[in-house]
Amino acid sequence: MNAPEASPNEETPQIHLRQFLPIFAAVFLPMFLAAVDQTLLATATPVIATELGGLRDTSWVAVAYLLAAAAVVPLYGWLGDRLGLARILRYSLSLFALGSLACGLAQSLPQLVAARVLQGLGGGGLMTLCQALIGELVPPRQRGRFQGYFAAVFTLASVSGPVLGGLVVSQYSWRWLFLANLPLAAIALWRLMVLPGVRSRDRIKGKVDGVGLIVFPILVACVIFWISSVGHRFTWDAPASAALVLVIVVGTRFLYRHEKRIPQPFLDLRLLAHPAIRAVMLSTLSFSSCMFALVFYLPIYLQLGLHSGAMKSGLLILPVTLGIVVGATLSGRALAMGVLPKWVPTTGLSISATALGLLAWLGAEPTLIAVLGSLSGMGFGSVMPSTQVIAQTVGGRDRLGVATSLASLSRSLGAALGTTIFGVLIFTLLPGVPHNAAPADFLLLPPLQVQHAFHIAFALMACTAAAGAFAASRAPAVRL
């Protein structure tokens, strides 16, 4: 076995929990806003459609934010490394607040979609820059522990989004889902202004990679849109699908050649060539595709395959989310105790793969589903803190933003891939149901047939998680 690689970071003194609290207070709110806004509108969409019209097109309210946010993630990392992470985070938060105000004031569905694009352009930097800022202010050995706290915050915020959205919509107007961001963003901006220990950065001289800054977000937007639309808005062999694939292939080849030619590229191909970064991206892609697909489709499996009620299926998803929180916390503790980071996602994804395999094999029993879902969640929870620490350690202090954004981009792409591919598989295995079928139509199918389709999907999730564990195990041993 090769000796562990030394961190390129300058070692900084250990910090105590009392010193970490100001950092937590500064980055907690931006991270919470970024996470909760991804799921906040899930229960509010019918109400929005009733007021603004266009129920068929309300999915664009979510898709517009996702496309805009995913497309600018690496841009924020690149800017943060050059102009200062805290400074760019303040700009990102201000743009997010401006977009939230525009959403709250929207008078038509097109206006709301345009405002969501603006909000996504700001929100794309919140999660990445917060995690990179932790890497700048916290020593490598302690990052796993504190990143675990934020992974737990991310999960709780994502899960509580639909609950908060339903509560606000039932008691007040859906506009408060956006307008409530304004005072929270103001508090977060104030905390960032007084955050101690932030390094000032000199502007890097040289020509700006304008081509990369423009082409890369367009390519990411095309990839996310194609993944989320193929098989739904258009067929796989439709002209629109072929045109998007052509743009992605040609654009990727052009961008790769361009980035190799220029002295200061937007995409640092040397960082992408590092085996640890490749392992991080592959394991993050695997974990996010399985986790988001499980969280999204497990309630559908419970309602359609086991005929559980909405409340019961909601309760049975809680062990998964609680397991994620426990896994994130335990993995942070393990990293703080000196465990090599590569073995944390390797072990976690192996546990998740085993639990998903048993879920596919052992049949459908609510108690068993709760136990296996909890184990799957624990395994998934171990990935975010450890992969972020590996990426930040390899990237070094001068490339914290870029390294963190690569992991964030892998997570976004994995989520889109997982929900799309597993959804296509499940509904392809249910013959005789029209494309625009209502949930009541699926309830008419034999339960065993529905269970069989979902069990095959769970087995594929298990294989995907196992592949992620293998990728993580092949990473070089990075020493914190």
* Percent of the chain scoring above 90 in pLDDT: 11
The per-residue pLDDT for 357 is 93
Q: Which residues of 105-118 are buried (b: 16+ CB within 10 A; e: fewer)?
A: ebeebeebbbbbbb
Query: Is the pLDDT assigned to residue 156 strictly greater than 70?
Result: no
Task: At 403, list the tokens.
Answer: 């390294």
Query: What is the pTM (predicted TM-score) of this model?
Result: 0.69
Give CA–CA dist 480/467, Å, rounded. Answer: 25
> Which residue has better confidence, 42 or 186?
186
Bridge partners, 234 (sequence order):
230
The per-residue pLDDT for 388 is 75
The per-residue pLDDT for 4 is 46
Give CA–CA dist 258/179, Å, rounded. Answer: 42
Say how many C-beta atoms besides its own lie within 10 A of residue 172's C-beta: 12
Q: Which residues of 342-357 are buried (b: 16+ CB within 10 A; e: fewer)?
A: bbbbbbbbbbbbbbbb
1 pLDDT band (50/70/90 cuts)? Answer: very low
> Which residue has better confidence, 342 or 332?
342
Residues 293-314 have pLDDT tens digits of 887 778 778 777 777 765 666 6
Residues 383-396 have pLDDT tens digits of 877 787 777 777 77
- Could you tell me the CA-to-CA distances from 92 to 39, 69, 97, 167 in Å, in that order? 20, 11, 9, 28
Query: Is the pLDDT assigned to residue 163 strictly greater than 80?
Result: no
- Average pLDDT over every residue of 448-475: 89
- Average pLDDT over every residue of 271-276: 79
Nearest to 40 by CA among 125, 159, 200, 188: 159
- Average pLDDT over every residue of 73-87: 79
402 dihedral zone (left: phi>0; alpha: psi -120 to 50; beta): alpha
The per-residue pLDDT for 7 is 47
The per-residue pLDDT for 2 is 44
Q: Which residues of 10-36 are buried (b: 16+ CB within 10 A; e: fewer)?
A: eeeeeeeeeebeebbebbbbbbbbbbb
Give CA–CA dist 44/104, Å, rounded. Answer: 13
Say how many C-beta atoms besides its own lie within 10 A of residue 213's C-beta: 15
Task: At 82, list the tokens.
Answer: 């050059």
155 pLDDT band (50/70/90 cuts)? Answer: low
3-state secondary structure of 384: helix
Bridge partners, 230 (sequence order):
234
The per-residue pLDDT for 366 is 80
Average pLDDT of the chain is 76
Which run of H or E residues covers position 14? none
**Cα dihedral sign for 190, 194, 196, 197?**
positive
Residues 398-455 have pLDDT tens digits of 666 677 777 777 877 787 678 777 877 877 787 665 555 545 556 667 778 888 888 8
